[in-house]
Structure 1
Amino acid sequence: MAIPSNSRVLVTGAGGFTGTHLLHELRKLDCEIHATGRDTGAGVPATWHTLDLRDEAAVTALVKQVQPDYVFHLAAISFVAHDRPVEIYEVNVLGTENLLKALAQECPDLHKVLVASSANIYGNPATDPVSEETPLAPVNHYGCSKVSMEFIARTYADDVPMVMTRPFNYTGKGQSEKFLVPKMVKHFRERQPTIELGNTDIIRDISDVRDVVQDCLSLAASDSRGESFNLCRGEGVALKEIISILQDVTGHQIEIQVNPAFVRASDIKRLVGDRGKLDGAIGQRDRIAFEETLAWMLEG
């Protein structure tokens, strides 16, 4: 299941980790790609546009110019520990409002918009695994901004064909080393003797970015509309288990030093998703094994 070849596609946040991988897949489909964000020079033919999503007039002008068939709205401040909360809400909430309003007004032939939310909206859930029906209980500004974004997006559900995704953790080549898994991989690749971490007992559902991109493309091509979907593997791994896997793969032993500065009181202890609804919408397929993802990242 994929969007038609030669579709005109707008990707916001295209210069980011997920966007870069998405552009490569869109190129394989011979799509006409319009991208906003920082051009990373990834070698994918695309028309790059400078855009501040907080500027309503600029957003409307771009949407009117491009007239996309599909939109992948990935632009967001996605680092939980970002130190400017106001900016998180401006970009994640106001920016999404501006985009959806423009699409509703200017693009009557739009096929689908995919709006990226986050599993962070579930907070510390009482259910395990977490389904889309789990109550939303964010514990940080990032999660709160995504909840607000989802509710605002739903006000456009009658006018804009959209789906919203709630990705759990995912990783792969190109992810910033301020995120935990790339940080760990870097330490093992460089065979460093120690690594400073926070709580190594927290459990996360971690997918490969390549699987996440395929899920997004399949949802965009699906008949689903006005719904939210978990993007996840459906099984959890503790951070200390990741260290163990990396030690087995590389043969390198590393000393873990717990840095209290990396331990946040708001840390979600366990977050594992239920992918049943997603599989029902796009069908089941094999996922990339986590060990394979780590080996891919270790290649550098």
Structure 2
Amino acid sequence: MKTILMTGHLGLIGRYLTPLLVQQGYRVKGFDLADGTGDICRSEQLKQAISGVTGVVHLAAVSRVIWGERNPELCWQTNAIASEQLLKTACEQADVKPWVLVASSREVYGDSDVLPVCDSAYVSPVNIYGQAKAYMEKKALEAREYGLNTAVIRLANVYGCTKDHKDRVLPAFCLNAVNNADLRVDGRNHLFDFTHVSDTVKGLSLVIEQLENNERNLPPTHLLPGIGTTLGEAAEMAIKFAGSRSRIIEAPSRNYDVSRFIGDPTQAKELLGWQANISPEQGIKLLVKAFQEQLQEVPA
């Protein structure tokens, strides 16, 4: 049985990707600060964990833009420097080098003048989170010169789980709508390409299949539906599907946020045979329903 090391396996994506990979016949070796199995900022732990694995799915990160702004040093150390160390460690494996899939972000594009954004668009991040991810991408592609098979996959506003951080935008909207609480919208007209977690992990599993088949030189690719939804529209959907009395409270946008992004999903379809099956409207409806069911399970 082939073993895959998954950093950040207890995060949103890892919780859904792990059972899918197990179902496909892999053994998943978790490496996460949350349960003490590993800290990517500790090189000795990385060396021990990576030994003998077939591949690495690198999800561990300071995973939110706002957290990066609050602690830019930690964001850079974790998302850039520790990721670079992981790639170096993989390159140094004496026997067979594992393939490495790094999870990047649409934040690397920054505020693009042209929508939809194609995968090959110029990388121009506007915040420390995006800058650190862009650095990681650069190092992942450079590692190919040393024989490491790498893939860079850019994720876009992944959502769909009630166990996600409650202040992420869609979980916050859906939970507040279910509870008839006000929905705070930081930039009502900000436009994003929301991707359901079930679609995301299917795409990642297809990338892993390519890497397992020794497909090399995959270009950086984003996984997204290619459907733009404003924050105002998303908030209204959550209220509608919850049958809620919630109000929308508008707040000014944050100066470190990308304000508009829609991606072109063509490359993922052509390279991987992947396309999103769940639209943002369907996904918000599903998430509202999940929060409603969770609320009903709580004893009075």
Q: TM-score, normalised by structure 2?
A: 0.88
Question: Aligned-pair distance for 1:39?
Answer: 6.0
Secondary structure at 1:227 match in 2 = coil
- Output the amino acid matched with 1:20: R
3-state SS of 1:271 partner: coil
Structure 2 residue 18 is matched with structure 1 residue 18: no
Asked if the contact 1:14–1:38 (Cα under 8 Å) also holds between the matched residues in 2, the reply is: no
Task: Tell me if structure 1 keeps the 8 A contact 2:75–2:129.
Answer: yes
Q: What amino acid is the match of 1:97?
A: E
- Which residue of structure 1 lines up, in the alignment, with residue 55 of structure 2? 70
Query: 1:16 touches 1:38 (CA, 8 Å); kept in 2?
Result: no
Structure 1 residues 107 and 199: alpha-carbon distance in aligned structure 2, compared to 1, 3 A threshold: farther
CA distance in 2, matches of 1:253, 1:271: 30
> Could you tell me which amino acid in structure 2 is paired with residue 93 of structure 1?
A
Q: Name the residue aligned to 1:44.
A: none
Aligned-pair Cα RMSD in Å:
1.8
Residues 51/286 of structure 1: CA separation in 2 closer, same or farther (3 Å cut): closer
Matches of 2:208 and 2:189 in 1, distance apart? 35
CA contact (8 A) 1:113 1:220 kept: no
- Confirm or deny that 1:169 pairs with 2:157: yes
Which residue pairs with 2:65 in the alignment? Answer: 80
Number of residue pairs matched by the alignment: 282
Counterparts of 2:157 and 2:263, CA distance in 1? 10
**Shift of residue 25 of structure 1?**
0.9
Q: Does 1:278 align with 2:268?
A: yes
Aligned residue in 2 for 1:153: 140
Correspondence for 1:91: 78
* Contact 1:203/1:238 (8 A) holds in 2: yes
Q: CA deviation at 1:108?
A: 4.0
> 2:223, 2:268 within 8 Å by CA — same for their partners in 1?
yes
Unaligned runs of 5+ in 1: 1-5, 41-48
Q: What is the CA–CA distance in structure 1 between the aligned matches of 2:94 and 2:234, rounded to whole Å?
A: 45
Aligned with 2:4 (options 9, 32, 53): 9
Paired letter, 1:213: V
Structure with greater helix share of residues: 2
**1:191-229: per-residue Cα shift (whole Å, max 9, x none)?**
22x222211110000010110011011011122535210
Residue of structure 2 equivalent to 1:227: 219
Superposed CA offset, 1:81-121 (max 9, x none):
11110111111111111111111111643453210111101
Give distance in 1, aligned partners of 2:94 and 2:18: 22
Q: Match of 2:297?
A: none
Alpha-carbon offset, residue 284 of structure 1: 4.2
Identity rate, percent:
23
Partner of 2:250: 258
Stretches of 4+ aligned residues off by more than 4 angstroms: none
Describe how 1:1-300 pairs up with structure 2 within 5 A.
Answer: 6-38=1-33, 50-64=37-51, 67-82=52-67, 83-106=70-93, 108-110=95-97, 112-158=99-145, 159-173=147-161, 174-192=163-181, 194-222=182-210, 223-260=215-252, 263-285=253-275, 287-298=277-288, 299-300=290-291
How far did residue 249 of structure 1 move?
1.6
